[in-house]
Structure 1
Amino acid sequence: MAGQIHHIEFYVSNLVRTINFWEWFLLELGYTRYQKWDKGISWKLDDAYIVFVQAEDRFLDVSYHRCRVGLNHLAFYAKSRHHVDEITNLLLEKGITILYSDKHPFAGGEKHYAVYFEDPDRMKVELVAP
């Protein structure tokens, strides 16, 4: 297990909005709810987990942007191209904008079948077919 990701933790501007956005997606990918407390929540898949924590009010004056120094995006494997298409349809039903829609599903290149979108704090998320 040396070198594998143990967990990833994000501070978010609105925990309720974040849970509403991420929960359905992570459950769709096979994650299960792992921990929940007043200021945070996590979901786990195998031995790794993703944590979202409510940022303190005093830190909300600077918003996140994926093109600044720091994390650009998270990319997850889908089960198949069909799974990418299913998730894309769910995103659209939920009113979530597909990034690079003019090139979808090949925005990452002709051999890279994926959907790109943003979470409520504008972090880019990618779902890639194997």
Structure 2
Amino acid sequence: MKKGLLHHLEINVSNLKSSINFWSWLLEELGYERFQTWEKGQSWILDDTYIVFVQTEERFLDVPYHRSRVGLNHLAFYADSREHVDLITASLKEQGVTILYEDKHPFAGGREHYAVYFEDPDRIKVEIVAP
């Protein structure tokens, strides 16, 4: 039964190339595969759910995204395990990605919530959480 499952997400980005570089390794690490590519977009799919990144039109680039405004706050994905969260954290650090709440990492969400938090190139917060 698919009722209630997420079908897809579409995210407008300020720089498509930068977003593809950031997201491709992460989504593929989580089991997604490249799905569709066109001049102003790229998508990845896992089972029946896909995620799309689309280049924002030039006329809308003057208003930057911020997760504290109305709209999307963050995306959270399951990892395979705590070790998988640690592997992704190490990869993020190697790429120079800032880990959010690093003073509380990996328990920034609480003692029972093992996760890493970080931001994509447009400062969309991303969370990878152990099951």
Place the TM-score, normalised by the shorter chain, in its bin. over 0.9
TM-score (normalizing by structure 2): 0.99
Q: Distance in 2 between matches of 1:103 and 1:3?
A: 33
Whether 2:87 is the aligned partner of 1:86: answer yes
State the one-letter code of the partner of 1:60.
L
Once the two structures are superposed, the pairs formed by residues 60-75 of structure 1 within 5 Å of their partners are: 60-75=61-76
Once the two structures are superposed, the pairs formed by residues 6-45 of structure 1 within 5 Å of their partners are: 6-45=7-46
1:5 to partner: Cα distance: 0.8
Match of residue 53 from structure 2: 52
- Long gaps (5+) in structure 1: none
Listed one character per residue, the Cα deviations across residues 25-61 of structure 1 (whole Å, up to 9, x for unaligned) are 0000000000000000000000000000000000000
Name the SS for the 1:109 alignment partner.
Answer: coil
Two-structure CA RMSD over aligned residues (Å): 0.3
Identity of aligned residues (%): 72
State the one-letter code of the partner of 1:86.
L
- Long gaps (5+) in structure 2: none
Listed one character per residue, the Cα deviations across residues 62-117 of structure 1 (whole Å, up to 9, x for unaligned) are 00000000000000000000000000000000000000000000000000000000
Query: Which ranges of 4 or more aligned residues in structure 1 deviate by more than 4 Å?
Result: none
Q: Distance in 2 between matches of 1:8 and 1:87?
A: 22
Match of residue 97 from structure 2: 96
Name the SS for the 2:84 alignment partner.
Answer: helix
Q: Distance in 2 between matches of 1:72 and 1:94?
A: 23
Q: Distance in 1 between matches of 2:122 and 2:103?
A: 23
Q: Distance in 2 between matches of 1:106 and 1:21?
A: 24
